[in-house]
Structure 1
Amino acid sequence: MDYYIPATITHYFYIFLSYFIPSLILFPTFHRPDRDNRHLKVAGIISAVFILLVFMLPKNISNSVCTFGVYFFWYASFSFLLAGTKSFKLTLALCFYCLMLFIEILCGIVVTFITLFFPSSNIVNAYSLITNNYFSIFFMATFGIFWELVSIKPLKRFFLNYGYLMTNIKLTVALILPLVIAVQTSNILYLFVIPKTRIVLTLIFCIPFSFLICIWLNYGFHMLKSCERQHLEQTYQLKVLEQEIAHIHQTNAQYEHLYRWNHDTANHLLALSFLIEQKNYQRALEYIQRLQQERETFES
């Protein structure tokens, strides 16, 4: 079976989702006040058309543009749709870069298990090694689409509940950058170092580098703990402030009610005193009875 057409279609949708899903996930939490779902749809259409045009280029050029252009496209769409500073948007792009690495690793793991059970399928589990193996492209893109669609809902919920963590750029960099450096360093060793010296350099480089990465991550987790503690304190203070404001509003409402009651009582007493001065006792009694009926009606 020729997998060229299904591989091309699935790869296109995989790249499209990689371009568009970050904006789709972040828009409900961080959108600019002057942006709505229409602008989000426009961004989706632009990404779809852009990727379609890129796919018309020669394969080596289109692969490079899709691979490296996604970061510029993320930043452009974040600038168009999301509120926040430039450094904040760059931090969000870094987060989703790690997410895409994680999804690619998951796809590689799944495909690796498939090759263990079906070794004759000749599936390659890394995009960097795929040339014209359309069967491998189809499988990798299919699993990539699956993981990206599965991640939308939990990531939306995460950013709605813990989006405040993304505003702390130092925290995000401390937690994510070590992982990015580790992955990219391993890629450099794999691609640019000859096999004979790769193992030696990896062993020499791995121990001190792993130690530094652990120290960096430990620092990031300490920052995360401190940030979460500050957030809980601020949430508690905000809750206390809201309760105090509600109490002030309630007190003001009671004061206004008491003020109106005193004002009405003064008017009633003035009317009664006028009727009594005029020795119009019958009308004064009727006035008192009417006030009593109104009070009973109001209380019922």
Structure 2
Amino acid sequence: MRLVIGGREFDFDRRVAVMAIVNRTPDSFHDRGRTFALAHALEAVRTAAEQGADWIDIGGVPFAPGPEVTVAEELERVLPVVEAARELTVVSVDTYRPEVAREAIACGAGVINDTSGLRDPAMADAVAGTDAALVITHSLAAPRTPHPSPRYDDVVAEVRSFLQQRVSVALDRGVRPDQVVLDPGPDLNKNTVQSLELTRRLDEICELGHPTLAAVSNKDFIGETLDRPQPDRLAGTLAAVVFCVLRGARIVRVHDVRATVEAVRMTEAMLGWRSPAYLRHNL
């Protein structure tokens, strides 16, 4: 599966793309505003690129409920970071607003990461006719909307069906199949047991035939499984990342770039996809 995304070629038969997270939000669930200031966001972009990130995902509005952020505010947060990152790596913008997507693509974003799962079909219109990739994510509720106690008869079957339906919407509106990336959305309107089941059966999502993104970094299903607070979930995150790769994920979205790049590259080498950086031992 060779795809050109953001002007760069990715061979997803033999490589995994590491997507770094840079949020220009004061209330992001993990970094709690650490990169909200523009200078801190730009420094995070440079650091992520130096540490080997293949993509950088820039967000201006969290998924979780919180204060209203206008379209103008979101653009003001996101576009300067897109401009700074576009020469360094593939740039993704995490947004559910078609108007933000259009501006981001015009500014140089190569990926639109829609956590709403095309709740507004106009998002597909914004991407159609461009070279940008579109990440379609599963959730039950719209972003910024609480959804306590989510219920599923079979979480994997229902997530898979939702994603199939939303892909059909995208294709009907002119998005090419090679532009589509799928994210089953662990933790998004799912409890820990449901997220673990979804991760365990991730191969059933990958069978849909589009690159699958695993957005597992520091999520609550890891914290509740291991009884670890937000700042202490790296080991669990790396285990989840490697497990998802073995189940078929080809993009992993993470906060801790260097550790994840090394875990992913080691996994690729053990699978026979990547040669060692050098050979010296016992030669």
Higher percent of residues as strand = 2
Shorter-chain TM-score above 0.5: no
What TM bracket, shorter-length normalisation? under 0.3
Q: TM-score, normalised by structure 1?
A: 0.22
Structure with max Cα Rg: 1
